[in-house]
Structure 1
Amino acid sequence: AVRIERLFDTGSEERLPSAEGFERLGTDPARRRHDLARDINEVVEKIRARAQRTLSLSSMASHQLRTPLTILRSQLENALRPDLSSQSLRRALSETYDEVLNLTRVVDELLNLSRMQAGTFKLDLTDINFYDLLREFHRESQILTREKKISMVLRKGPAVCIRADPGQMRHILFNLLDNAIKFTPPKGRIRLSYTAEEHEVVFKFFNSGKGISSEILPNIFDPFRSAQSESSTGGGTGLGLALVKWIVESHRGSVEARNDSREGTAFVIRLPIHPAS
């Protein structure tokens, strides 16, 4: 019983014996024992990996929620000061509201990540005109880029249709935009463009800036690494790009990040083209 418990310990190297001694005898019962031991070891590895991912997600959730909750507490304590003027109180409440919105976004991202890991994430697929999707996103995003005076350009490509979940496509685009706004300098630029290559639409989301450091780039889509890297530099939760990757891959697509030769960052997404109905 003690050995069985050790099998499910995420820090243990315990395995069932392979019964190689019995295998040398060439008997059928020995072969069955060998196969059973192998199969159980494979199941244990899968359970151990799932448990480790769950522990990592729980640890990351605690880390990501601690900062906005600390900020909220500080802002509310400041708002409760009896000597605070009406103008300062209004400003404090406005900042608290903004932090509540940020906390809501973090919670939503964590919930989506947990659903994806649990395999309960479902897509509501429909036919989407790709340019119409980008045009609507471009219109809505103008207000978000206004504060830093970032110019945003959409280049129209060929008429293509994809089979996708419209809500999740918006998640992809706005997560990329959120990342771009954080790292694009004032009066910088964001450019959206796409082409059709064989059976794929190739979408490029470019933003000007210094690019992604070589240390972060290999793990930019890893929620358990990019979150820590981005948080340490004040860049955000680090969860948005992990969601981008998982949503794209759930649509049978791919995404990569690269430093553009023209001083900036480009995210390249490939999605299957769907024949227009």
Structure 2
Amino acid sequence: LSIISHDLRNPITNTQTILSLINKGALTEEESKTLLEQLETQYINTTGLLDNLLGWLKSQITGKELEKTDMNVYEIMNGMHLEQKIALMRKRIKFINNTSSDSNIMAEKEMIKIIFRNLITNAIKFTSLDGRIEISYTHDDTHTYVRIKDSGIGMSEEILQKVNAQKYFTRTGTLQEKGSGFGLILCRDLLQKQGGVLLIESAKGEGSTFTVKLPIN
């Protein structure tokens, strides 16, 4: 909790300092431009963390039984593509949706969107310029599998162990975006509530594949 509080408070304090310097005219035009770009990145990161916290809190306090619906992955991912278009363009990342109109899953609507949004945001964060993110879908008699594969920097064995142990930690993306691991903790929690599992394959320098495994019934 103290680490999360720090990650929320620190950008706010930093924003106040930067805006004060700009208002006082203490910076050159180039310095102001660089710091404003930094503020934009901080805003995106802080908003993402707040969204995750709200999503987690909502999942903890609701007393209602989950209402799963039949959802099409192709449509969900097209929506995610549009939602993340600016972030993808910033890094010139190709978003390849290999799913189809037959790629269906049974899931709680809002929870699954939070899960996919986190996984795609994570993939963008740790993928370098001109990289790629591929979405694929398979199923067997009992489960559906949605895979989000990126050509990013991957994870070392140490980082992978922290992720699997659901530990909160700080990690920097390819354009200095801040990552904490909280999004993945949330994904696992929301999947568990639906009888699902998050599977992770990754190696340093070789990208990562996140698989959302959900029961068919």
| TM-score normalised per structure 2 | 0.80
**Structure 1 stretches lacking a partner, 5+ long:** 1-57
Structure with more contact order per residue of length (Cα contacts < 8 Å, sep ≥ 6): 2
Using the alignment, how far apart are the partners of 1:253 and 1:111 within structure 2? 21
Q: Which residue of structure 1 aligns with residue 171 of structure 2?
A: 230
Deviation at 1:189, TM superposition (A): 1.0
Change (3 A) 1:77 1:222: farther
Q: Aligned partners of 2:134 and 2:141: how far apart in 1?
A: 23
Q: Please name the residue that 2:50 is paired with.
A: 107
Note the 1:1-277 alignment, pairs <5 A. Answer: 58-82=1-25, 96=39, 99-116=42-59, 118-120=60-62, 123=66, 125-157=68-100, 159-220=102-163, 222-223=165-166, 225=167, 227-230=168-171, 235-259=178-202, 263-274=206-217
Confirm or deny: 8 A CA contact 2:74 2:99 kept in the other structure.
yes
1:119-151 C-alpha deviation (Å, 9 max, x unpaired):
537655433123322233234433321111111
1:97/1:182 CA distance change after superposition, 3 Å = closer
Tell me the distance in 2 between the aligned counterparts of 1:148 and 1:109. Answer: 23
Q: Which runs of 5+ in 2 are unaligned?
A: none
Residue 179 of structure 2 aligns to a residue in which SS? coil
Q: Which has the larger radius of gyration?
A: 1
Distance 1:215 1:87 in 2: 39
Give the Cα–Cα distance (whole angstroms) in 1 for the partners of residues 74 and 216 of structure 2.
Answer: 13
Determine what percentage of the aligned residue pairs are the same residue.
29
SS of 2:157's partner is coil
Q: Tell me what 1:18 maps to.
A: none
Q: Partner residue of 1:37?
A: none
C-alpha displacement of 1:106: 1.9
Aligned partner letter, 1:120 = T
CA deviation after TM superposition for structure 1 residue 84, in Å: 5.6
Secondary structure, counterpart of 2:120 in structure 1: helix
Residue 114 of structure 2 contacts residue 187 of structure 2 at CA under 8 Å; is this kept in 1?
Answer: yes
